[in-house]
Structure 1
């Protein structure tokens, strides 16, 4: 005698078709949630062929396929978005660095609004801190590898100089001037060092560290170039002893000339005062400069005579250029300052020039405070 099947056994027979047993007496169809009589096998077979079962099964398969596609596409989209955001962060960092734009500008409200409006996906751009900590080091490594390839097996000159940043720190910049056999010259910034103090020891160590970092042999260095500061002279003496006697030491003649001009300015205080007064007459006065430009074009050939070159303390030889300009065009400057529209201006420089007589302009003496030019 054959054993009688239970509801659980019957559900197990049609498990692949989606039947399951809720208890020992009830069999349900999973997809259409229909209760099916399980005692007779043909009853279940008829249900499997019914329109309701076929429709429910088809709908379920379609929904499952859509779900699987959606999950896969979502995963791919996440991966793609992550790669896109990483690439965008790298390119933005690289662009800002090459354009000399501080990364902090990305936090500016107007910049954020602009990028969100015109750059698709800019909302996924990492914060400035992430850009600085993640992408800047990567870009620096790529740059260093690129420099290594450029200087490999090439002769070069090492140019260096020291300056001060806005925080008062000593910034020592090292530049490689690559000299090709075809006499083509390429210049790359090798390193920027923050030194505690600018002296021969710290500068020579910084130069040697840069040469070692880029695998540059000492024999490849043909020249050392810098200003004529005393500590740089000692620095180059140390380096030439380590490298070769054939290394040429070149000191900047523009710096030496500037030192000479500084001496002239100190020993000719009256000339220095006169130049300062003329500078004050033209400084931060767009309208007065525009009128002077028209005056020069009317008096001379249009565009032939430039405007007064304002001397700048930190710009080498600019004081000499100003003095030479005044020597050539002092009559025109005074004539302009004596005009009705300008002479009434309450400016120290304008009043100084407007008060000069024709005799003082045309016949300067060595002791004249205004024309020792």
Structure 2
């Protein structure tokens, strides 16, 4: 207490408006400093966390094991602003990787939520010879790995059960998937017929065409014309791969290995080319394999129907006066065309009537249907779903 000041004087000062105002200003400033300090700390923490998580994503995209980060830590500390915040590999794996994985998994669940996906599934083995089942979902331009499962026993039952357990995780009802892609193994065909088809009757099986074309192409290895080359150049694989007769099949194989391109409506035309090529050349052994696998392929009706999403195909049919091709009910293998609404029928009529105005000889199907969304919203949505359907299961093996 100040000398010569009575207690009443001090009390009066403390209760004065001036003192109270100054006290409020002081307390407000102190609180602001505390909040600023907390905000600064939180911002710094979030910045460091972002650097770490972005680093994990970058390593994952580049297929670099997290163990390699230990060798880069001195470089990070020297040249990066937040380099000192990056921990060693064990901390990255145990603390930060699960967070990055959960974030990515949530983004997949959001994207594929209630979408009519195409399913790509295949079984392989890891470095320890353990069976691994990779499952991809494809919707329009995006094909993503959604599940990796390790199975002790691989058969039609376990493969079907694995897939049926994955769909609910993405809020995909069993009425939505359109296409099921796999290899041509007997147990995969049985999986489709006995495990999947009874639950998803709308599902169409597409045994991988790339595998089939490769099988047909391998017949050139046994031709007597190549016996001399096989004797002297047995270790030079390119001699057979690029032989004139085999080269045609290499080009066809490349077509069915395309990814992220809207080529589904062109599959039927490509198969017709292969048929003509084999029929017009004395390749009996190859044609026999072709007859076994291609004409009765379970996805052929869908390939033929999806051709209608190429406006140049519709234009050609109109020019040759084959108006029956304009009947939408002919393409009921496309689920939405089985019982079309009045609005869809109206849009279909507009579409068929507008293709005659097209002057281009080649059309980017994606750009065409994206541009038609304003005028034909229902039909465009259906077309974009189907033109982006995958044509092979090569994505899984890669």
The normalised TM-score by structure 1 is 0.51
Deviation at residue 174 of structure 1 after TM alignment: 0.9
Quote the Cα distance in structure 1 between the aligned partners of 2:177 and 2:39. 52
Cα pair distance change 1:326/1:228, threshold 3 Å? closer
Which residue, out of 124, 148, 161, partners 2:122?
161
Alignment partner, residue 148 of structure 1:
109
Quote the Cα distance in structure 2 between the aligned partners of 1:217 and 1:327. 43
Cα pair distance change 1:225/1:275, threshold 3 Å? farther
Alignment partner, residue 339 of structure 1:
none
How many residue pairs match? The answer is 221
Deviation at residue 275 of structure 1 after TM alignment: 4.3
**More strand by proportion, 1 or 2?**
1
Contact 2:123 2:131 (8 Å CA) reproduced: yes
Contact 1:227 1:252 (8 Å CA) reproduced: yes
**Structure with greater contact order relative to length (CA < 8 Å, sep ≥ 6):** 2
Quote the Cα distance in structure 2 between the aligned partners of 1:90 and 1:97. 11
* CA deviation map 1:113-150 (0-9, x unaligned): 32222211211212222222222222222222222222
Task: Determine if the alignment matches structure 1 residue 321 to structure 2 residue 241.
Answer: yes
Deviation at residue 76 of structure 1 after TM alignment: 6.3
Which residue, out of 135, 144, 149, partners 1:188?
144
SS at match of 1:276: coil
Contact 1:177 1:186 (8 Å CA) reproduced: yes
Alignment partner, residue 306 of structure 1:
none
Quote the Cα distance in structure 2 between the aligned partners of 1:102 and 1:218. 37
Q: 225-234 or 184-193: which moved more?
A: 184-193
Larger Rg: 1
Task: Determine if the alignment matches structure 1 residue 100 to structure 2 residue 32.
Answer: no
Contact 2:180 2:203 (8 Å CA) reproduced: yes
Which residue, out of 91, 94, 110, partners 1:133?
94
Alignment partner, residue 212 of structure 1:
168
Cα pair distance change 1:71/1:138, threshold 3 Å? closer
Contact 2:122 2:135 (8 Å CA) reproduced: yes
* CA deviation map 1:62-114 (0-9, x unaligned): xxxxxx99999877665444333222211111221122221111012xx2232
Which residue, out of 167, 178, 188, partners 1:232?
188
**More helix by proportion, 1 or 2?**
2
- 1:114-129 matches, within 5 Å, as 114-129=75-90
Long gaps (5+) in structure 2 = 5-30, 249-398
Quote the Cα distance in structure 1 between the aligned partners of 2:125 and 2:69. 26
Alignment partner, residue 28 of structure 2:
none
Deviation at residue 266 of structure 1 after TM alignment: 6.7
Quote the Cα distance in structure 2 between the aligned partners of 1:239 and 1:327. 39
Alignment partner, residue 276 of structure 1:
234
Task: Determine if the alignment matches structure 1 residue 250 to structure 2 residue 211.
Answer: no
Contact 2:175 2:200 (8 Å CA) reproduced: yes
Alignment partner, residue 259 of structure 2:
none
Cα pair distance change 1:326/1:237, threshold 3 Å? closer
Cα pair distance change 1:250/1:129, threshold 3 Å? same
SS at match of 1:120: coil
Quote the Cα distance in structure 2 between the aligned partners of 1:169 and 1:327. 36
Contact 1:175 1:188 (8 Å CA) reproduced: yes
Q: 80-89 or 228-237: which moved more?
A: 80-89
